[in-house]
Structure 1
Amino acid sequence: MAPTDTVALFFEDRATASARLFDALGMTYQDLYCRLPAQLDALDWLLARLPAGAAVLDIGSGTGQPTAARLTAAGHRVTGIDVSRTMVDLARAQVPAARFEVADVCAVPDTPGVWDAITAFFPLLQLSRADQVMVLGRIASWLAPGGLFAFATVPFDAEDTELTWLGRRVRVTSFPSAAFARLLRAAGLVVLHEQESVFRPDFPGADPEEHLFLYAAKPGGRRSRGGG
């Protein structure tokens, strides 16, 4: 990263910095991360439980692979949001059956009780801790009764720390692993599954990453068809 890029990292707002990062990564991100075994397992879990034609919101939808692609192939109605214009353009080209929009999860309008399922695979790491708590609460409110949530992050105990990821300097925030299940329960969700794994991207100099996957549900009855 050039010195000017490092300076920009400190002065851009969080959404702009995240958009710049993923605009630059483009298909590299898909090549490295679209076959994560734990993410594919999470999608299998959802696909086995969703009602026909379910309405699914994919937060941080990236290139549309594998999440939106697998869900739409199974007949579900997927809306993906991402802060990166490049990612949204790639997703629209690769998964035309889904809808993708450039949007910041912290700023999109509330859609209470609309979604049969929400997926969020690693989109919160560039949010502050306060915003992560806020977004998890919003997600819980957006789910329909009985709705399902599949979530993944990289757990660690630090806020606004700078590190090198895929050759780029980024600022990231998270919580310790045990905190996330507590946050989901505090938001009103029932945690059904918790799994930690380690993944090393096939990228020069990449370090192993600890991944945390959680499956959760909103209490209440299941619907036969989705809304939204």
Structure 2
Amino acid sequence: MTDDQHRPHPAAAFDALGAEYEKAFAGSRTHRHSLEWLLGRLAPGSRVLDVGSGTGRPTAETLAAAGHDVLGVDISPVMADLAARQVPDATFRCADIHDVPLEDASFDAVCVYFSLLQLDRREQAALIGRLTWVLKPGGYLVLATVPLDVEGVDAVFMGQPVRVTSFTAQALATVVEEAGLEVVTEEATLFTPAHPDARPEPHLFLHCRRPAATAPDA
């Protein structure tokens, strides 16, 4: 059996957690601050892509309530179903983001909150590059992760087996810049999810912009 066959399916943990994930992270003030940062920069009726949209809360719900056109994509059918029921003003697709056709310069903003951690580093860098092209020039990408120097580590997240890969804060900033984005602001914090099996974890939020005058490198 290959290593990939041993690897937990990315959707499995979140299918099992369902609404428990939303409850565990509902107290993240930094996530709320990040959404406020984005809302303060979007024109009315902006088109926003939410990658790894989870239950739809708080990201899609907050953006849709402000009048923006939100498309959420999540690989977990349980999460996508919850989101569709909880946030009827947004559109949700149950799909792997790699399989979703996305036109260049078709979104004013892209949200990527903690949805890269089960991809390897090559996949993370490639996806950030692709999402940069999806942004309109002058558009914004907000990215949150757990900034650790780990690659392919088997771990337990809120009682569920996962395989985690991440970058240090400095390395992730380099990946983002090499994709053609500029980091406008960043915020780091320590957060403990409200779950009996959760532990304190570092969180990093990068607020980025695709420059209006230049395109990202191919």
Q: TM-score, normalised by structure 2?
A: 0.93
SS at match of 2:104: coil
Q: 204, 221, 226: which one pairs with 2:196?
A: 204
Distance 1:21 1:169 in 2: 7
State the Cα deviation string for residues 150-191 of structure 1 (Å, max 9, x = none).
110001112110111101221110111111111111111111
For 1:73-84, list aligned pairs within 5 A: 73-84=65-76
Distance 2:69 2:95 in 1: 18
SS at match of 1:30: helix
**Offset of residue 12 of structure 1:** 5.7
Contact 1:110 1:138 in 2 (8 A): no
Query: Equivalent pairs: percent with the same residue?
Result: 44
Structure 1 residues without counterparts, runs of 5 or longer = 1-6, 222-228
State the Cα deviation string for residues 101-123 of structure 1 (Å, max 9, x = none).
01112232232101000001000
Q: 162, 171, 181: which one pairs with 1:179?
A: 171
State the Cα deviation string for residues 2-42 of structure 1 (Å, max 9, x = none).
xxxxx9x962666xx11111110000000111331111001
Aligned residue in 2 for 1:67? 59
Contact 2:154 2:163 in 1 (8 A): yes
Aligned residue in 2 for 1:34? 26
Contact 2:23 2:194 in 1 (8 A): no
Q: 95, 118, 122: which one pairs with 2:114?
A: 122
Q: 26, 33, 57: which one pairs with 2:49?
A: 57
Relative to structure 1, the CA distance from residue 102 to residue 12 in structure 2 (aligned partners, 3 Å threshold; closer, same or farther) is farther
Relative to structure 1, the CA distance from residue 12 to residue 95 in structure 2 (aligned partners, 3 Å threshold; closer, same or farther) is farther
Relative to structure 1, the CA distance from residue 10 to residue 218 in structure 2 (aligned partners, 3 Å threshold; closer, same or farther) is closer
Contact 1:106 1:131 in 2 (8 A): no
The alignment's C-alpha RMSD in Å is 1.6
Q: Greater shift after overlay, 130-139 or 176-185?
A: 176-185
Q: TM-score, normalised by structure 1?
A: 0.89
